Structure 1
Amino acid sequence: MPDAIGGYFELELPPGQGELYPDALRFQSARAAFFALLETGRPKRIWMPWYNCETMLEPPAMAGVEVRRYRIDEQFNIADDIEIDSRDWILYVNYFGLCDERIDRLLERLPRERVVIDNSQALFSAPRDCLATLYSPRKFFGLPDGGYLVTRVGVPIPDEQDNGSVERTTPLLTRLDRGAEAGYAGIQAARATLRGQRPKRMSTLTQRLLAHIDYPSAIERRNRNFERYHRLLGGNELPLATQSGHAALCYPFWNRRSDLHAKLAAKRIFVPRYWPNIRGESGTAEDFEFRMSTECLALPCDHRYGPNEIDYVVAALRAAIEAS
């Protein structure tokens, strides 16, 4: 039966460029895509970094796959000597969308057919020739949900389609209409609905939204904003921040201070922590992972902003640093 004809109008969406990865498998989240991959591939165990979103531990737990952890160094290279068994997989995170060269080197020395690349922070980084690549476009655009999986594993498409996108869209509309603070509780609640779910197909709403994004313009503006931060800011102790032109998730700024998030929030500059509950192997401030989770500022550089907003953030950050 065809779609309904006549009656009231649906939400109007502007013309777009089509989806970034039309051949990817579409799920309700990158986390669900990861679960589907594990459930199909059934590795004996998977190596995962300490420095990663804690929700990514849900899929292996639900799939009954053992997790081993590894450390990273200040260059975001793997710091441990890992021996990957023939039934092991390893997941590497493309941190802030700035680790493409590290991924290429990693795939030269590890069996690429057992490597999963987590591009949740690197939407515009092309899939590599490896076991699988994960994407989370909602970290880059105003989307209610959605995740991509590009893989050589024959992962089946779920029968059930996600039907929660309309409710998850409410905080996005609230921010548009009433500001960031008004929608914050709602976005937290919306994200919570994606926890502990079995894989489902991406909703029709999310697919339509993804197809109507002006990706080239977004990439250009992200790169321009990233370069402006790097030109104006000094004192960044994170070597990755010297790499521009990657349409990065953010501009990661690290100067070993843990009090700057609150100072910026007082100026209505909301900077996330990646990731606030993460601790390293020892669970102390000696771990690089601990310091990154508490001290690194993920300064916004996305397509919503231009030179005026970037200059405002830089001025506020400088004032916060100089005030103490």
Structure 2
Amino acid sequence: MKEIGGFIEFERYSDNMLHKNGVKLNCGRNCLAYVFKVKKISKIYLPYFLCDSIEKICKKYNVKCNFYHIDEKFRPIINDIDVNEWVYVVNYYGQLPREYMNSLYEHHHNIIFDFTQSYYEMPIKNAVTLYSCRKFFGVSDGGIVYIDTSHFESLEYDQSFERMHYLMGRFECGASAFYSEFCNREKEFENEPIKFMSKLTQNILCSLDYDCIRKKREKNFEVLEKYLQKFNRLKLAKRDGPLMYPLWVHNGKNVRKQLIEQKVYIPILWPNVIEKYTRSYLEYDMAENILPIPCDQRYDEDDMLTICYLIDNFMKERTV
């Protein structure tokens, strides 16, 4: 029987969540694992410029990996792919043009599009497309996959209440005190089985004002582009609800260090690329020197101007 009475619980929301029509699973990497099982994939081409968690999933599900390079516009450099082989294409920072991705899919249908860095981009029609919720919103887990076939109707629902501690801790105490807990939670996903997205995470995602969040991200991105494009080796296009502002400079490693000293935390998204490959790889340069500047809904124009001021000073010092 349904419980009635007792203490008041977390509020329940019913507004539509973005990507409600996708298959809602417990994390982005398990969306890929789900695709492997549904499509019975045995071989895939991955970009060198990628986090090692994807390669680990491939090994876990006995999927053979080959690798390909990307160019300075993040476009895949792929030749002679067999019609039955699969290709993993990342929409880095949401910067791949829609027309280009459509043409890729028309040429080769066996593509998995990774939109974990472009949540506001709608899926490529009929193509497998993956999303990660926690890169964009204050949830501890959650991933979505668009796919033309599905099974696993007996999947159990994940539970998120024990993962929420570091998010609540950061809200009241700041990021530094809970960073190690965040890292530990991230590592736990390596061993998580495929489950449906938790009811708590779905509830939070139903409570969000997606349009307001998108506009804040876009406004912050515009401010950064206005003042930082003079330093940027990338020619960026405007995108809906961008993840971050990618600033590619020749001395990114040093600028990152100086920003962190000022409590502006700029990650190396894929340190494994630096550890695994040499400086002769374009991907090494990208991993080391592209600075993913935060531009999300937590911040406003003054925050962006502060970042621009710091970077401008750092770059001037380098030229003196």
Deviations 1:186-233 (A, max 9, x none): 111111111132201111110101111110001111111111111111
Task: Call closer, same or farther: CA 1:193–1:93 in 2, change over 3 Å.
Answer: same
Aligned to 2:94: 97
Letter in 2 for 1:125: E
The aligned runs of 1:1-324 (5 Å cut-off) are 1-2=1-2, 4-12=3-11, 17-81=15-79, 83-101=80-98, 102-108=100-106, 110-112=107-109, 114-163=110-159, 165-233=160-228, 234-239=230-235, 241=236, 243-257=237-251, 258-279=253-274, 283-324=277-318
Give the whole-Å Cα distance in 1 for the aligned partners of 2:67 and 2:239: 31
Q: Which runs of 5+ in 1 are unaligned?
A: none
97-106 or 83-92: bigger deviation:
97-106
Letter in 1 for 2:315: I
Letter in 2 for 1:177: E
Task: Call closer, same or farther: CA 1:93–1:158 in 2, change over 3 Å.
Answer: farther
Task: Work out whether residues 25 and 157 of structure 1, in 8 Å CA contact, stay in contact via their aligned partners in 2.
Answer: no
Deviations 1:137-182 (A, max 9, x none): 100011110000110133424522212x122211111111111111
Letter in 1 for 2:67: R
Letter in 2 for 1:10: E
Letter in 2 for 1:144: S
Deviations 1:14-45 (A, max 9, x none): x6742111111111101011101102211231
Give the whole-Å Cα distance in 1 for the aligned partners of 2:209 and 2:19: 14
Task: Work out whether residues 48 and 90 of structure 1, in 8 Å CA contact, stay in contact via their aligned partners in 2.
Answer: yes
Letter in 1 for 2:268: R
Deviations 1:44-87 (A, max 9, x none): 31111111121111222111111111100101111232x22233
Letter in 1 for 2:147: T
Return the offset for 1:298. Answer: 0.3
Return the offset for 1:236. Answer: 0.3
Task: Work out whether residues 47 and 70 of structure 2, in 8 Å CA contact, stay in contact via their aligned partners in 1.
Answer: yes
Give the whole-Å Cα distance in 2 for the aligned partners of 1:245 and 1:161: 33
Give the whole-Å Cα distance in 1 for the aligned partners of 2:154 and 2:283: 35
- What number of residue pairs does the alignment pair up? 315
Give the whole-Å Cα distance in 2 for the aligned partners of 1:157 and 1:319: 56
Letter in 2 for 1:205: L
TM-score, normalising length: structure 2: 0.93
Local SS of the residue matching 2:249: coil
Task: Call closer, same or farther: CA 1:158–1:186 in 2, change over 3 Å.
Answer: farther
Task: Work out whether residues 100 and 125 of structure 1, in 8 Å CA contact, stay in contact via their aligned partners in 2.
Answer: no
Give the whole-Å Cα distance in 1 for the aligned partners of 2:23 and 2:48: 27
Local SS of the residue matching 2:157: coil
Task: Call closer, same or farther: CA 1:182–1:16 in 2, change over 3 Å.
Answer: farther
Local SS of the residue matching 2:134: helix
Q: Which runs of 5+ in 2 are unaligned?
A: none
Local SS of the residue matching 1:138: coil
Letter in 2 for 1:86: V
Task: Work out whether residues 119 and 132 of structure 2, in 8 Å CA contact, stay in contact via their aligned partners in 1.
Answer: yes
Local SS of the residue matching 1:278: helix
Task: Work out whether residues 42 and 65 of structure 1, in 8 Å CA contact, stay in contact via their aligned partners in 2.
Answer: no
